[in-house]
Amino acid sequence: MITHRQDIDGLRAVAVIFVILYHCGFDRILPGGFIGVDIFFVISGYLITKIILADVGDGRFSIGNFYSRRAKRILPAVVVMYAVVMAASYFTMLPYESLRVFKSVTSSALCASNAYFYFTTGYFDDSSEFNPVLHTWSLSVEEQFYIFFPLIVMLAGRYGRRATGMAIAGLFAVSIIASIITVPINRSAAFYFVQYRAWELLVGALIAGPALPKFADARINDVLSAIGALLIGFSALLLSKTSEFPGLTALPATAGTALIIWTGPGTLVGKLLSLRAATAIGLISYSLYLWHWPIWVFSNQYGAWEHGWQLVPIALSLVVGYVSWRFVETPFRTMRYRPAVSVAAGAASIASVAMLAFVGQLAADQMNEDNTAVERVAEFADYDPSKAFRSGQCFLTSNDGIEKYDRDACLALSNNQQNIALVGDSHAAHLYPGLRALSGANVIQANASGCRPTLDAEGEERCIELMNYMFKDFLPSHKVDVLVLAGRWTKDDVKLIRKTVDYLSPFAKKIVVFGPVAEYKSSLPRLLAHSLYDKQPFKAADHLVPRQHIGLDIQDALAGSGATYISTYKTMCNPDCVVWTKSGDPVQFDYGHFTADGSRILISRVKQALVVQR
């Protein structure tokens, strides 16, 4: 039996607090808060390996006992969460939304939600934001890992501790190398799939054996644990959702966690983590993790909490997390049943959840058929802009490396048409269908997600390389008729946009800068579908995010530069916002990106500003 460590409870508290703050509106303060999941992975790998090695060493390890403990630890709280989420989804969400939830619960109950979300979500998908079981992908990763890991340790253990250590080290090496290779190629796969995440659990496994004895000098352990804390802290502050993660960028946080665990509870960091406030949250961290995301999703269905009100769902999560730990987790975990009974009960509960989810799918499907007009609008939440944006060719998503950019196809100039260069992020890419529809226009395109078109571009490598190539290589040697710059501008871009325009002026006969779009607090198709379902008129003003001030600041910054500024907001909202096409489709498919038809409506209204005399 391994000794309970309060410092590890404290580490759990750090992990779950990071995740909650990141998910619940404090991502600007803690942009890398998602590393809380990676901390959990290391802790899990350490504790489970410690238990397995102790049982193998005593000759009492059995697969039945192992899965019995896992079932009692994991299933009761998550099954209750599934049941509540399905009921809440059925009664509070639109039919198409509850259908998604039921499908997600089915995949999650079968320990496959990581694969499900990989195949059903993407860069532009709105569904994940409103899916209350999205966070269960990490549980699926762990359970998939523990299908094969105990068997490997058990088999290797027959040949001694050295063989076990070598097996764990070998698996670690294969997994981390695969992760590093995959991140630039397919970041989403590297994020969701167990083969690319296993190394993080194996970091914990490596320090669980006797191969890495602690230093005897307490001062050295203090220094190492402090370094570990700094690695975790800097990762949480410096990483962001645009970082190429996991891969090498996940190594500091996982190594930092390992250092804190390895050096033990006697260090200064260990003592701080063992304080009552930290351990109290650590004890309920599993239930807290389970409940924080559903509570956040259901409380944000009609617009995000703002101005500090995010603390309300966080406080509610703490209360519900405690109740779940006290009255669900603890009683079931301490019950004494034979392993076969626990495993059978766990299997039965999972089968029941899967069956309920299947019945829910049938009911939601029928409700969809009964509300065809609502369903038609709601389907635009699944709108695929890949073809309209030329994704993976001229528009690089977060899953695309720079090598996918097709210079020959995307930068082909014309001798007898007006050449329009479209440069920027996805808020530039959505202009492509409209620009392409202009008579006598040849549109060349250099777009990448998260890459606002300013000099000295920052961000991911593909962003820096693409912007540097356009601004410092292609445009200086290929003068175009019109250079269109567009992006999801921030206040930090205001001081850079004038410098960028002044630099690019010699390379284009005309420079046009598109300002911010009308952004909504939630997906526009979702808001419109709710309006239709509730038989209430849609009032755009009630759902807009106030970003017009950024456009006004950019317009002021460009005064006297010779560039043409187009207020996208005023073009589409004067005074009421255009939300429907003539055929009755939403003009935007998420919070702000235009559909192909929406793009053509916008450009048709400003086409005179995009023409130059050749």
Angle made by CA atoms 582, 385, 412, in degrees to the nearest 5: 105
- Any residues with CB less than 8 A from the CB of 309 and at least 6 apart, and which? none
pLDDT band at 370 (very low <50, low <70, confident <90, very high): low
User: Which CATH topology does 380-610 take?
Assistant: Rossmann fold (3.40.50)
Please, are residues 274 and 6 in contact by the beta-carbon 8 Å criterion?
Answer: yes
CA 290, distance to chain mean position in Å, is: 17
Length, in residues, of the chain: 614
202 pLDDT band (50/70/90 cuts)?
A: very high
The answer to whether the bond into 575 is cis (omega within 30° of 0) is: yes
586 vs 358, more confident: 586
Residue written as tokens 């720079």? Answer: 402
pLDDT at res. 143: 95
DSSP for 136-153? Answer: GHHHHHHHHHHHHHHHHH
pLDDT of amino acid 310: 84
Top mean pLDDT of 328-342, 390-404, 474-488 is at: 474-488
Among candidate residues 557, 568, 563, the one with its CA nearest the CA of residue 612: 563
375 vs 117, higher pLDDT: 117
The band of 374, judged by pLDDT with boundaries at 50, 70 and 90, is confident
At 187, list the tokens: 């970041």
Question: In the prediction, which pLDDT does 514 show?
Answer: 98
273 touches 7 (CB < 8 A): yes
Flag whether pLDDT at 174 surpasses 70: yes
172, HSE (Cβ side, Cα atoms, 13 Å): 19
**What gap in Å lies between CA 500 and CA 520, rounded to an integer?**
28
Render 521-579 in DSSP notation, one character per residue: SS-HHHHHHHHHHTT----GGGTB---HHHHHHHHHHTTTSSPEEE-HHHHHBSSSBP-
pLDDT in tens, 4-23: 899 999 999 999 999 999 99
- Distances from the Cα of 186 to the Cα of 137, 183, 245, 450, angstroms: 17, 5, 10, 16
pLDDT at 61: 80
Q: How confident is the model at residue 301 (pLDDT cuts 50, 70, 90)?
A: confident
- pLDDT above 70 covers a percentage of the chain that reads 96
**Tokens for 46?**
């350490």
Domain ranges of the chain: 6-370, 380-610
pLDDT-derived band at 614 (thresholds 50, 70, 90) equals low
CB-CB contact of 568 with 360 (8 Å): no
Pairing of strands 564-566, 418-424: unpaired
pTM: 0.85
Instruction: Tell whether the torsion through CA atoms of 376, 93, 430 and 246 is positive or negative.
Output: negative
Rounded CA gap, 578 and 150, in Å?
A: 58
pLDDT at 303 over 70: no
Question: Residue 416 phi/psi, 5° resolution?
Answer: -125, 10
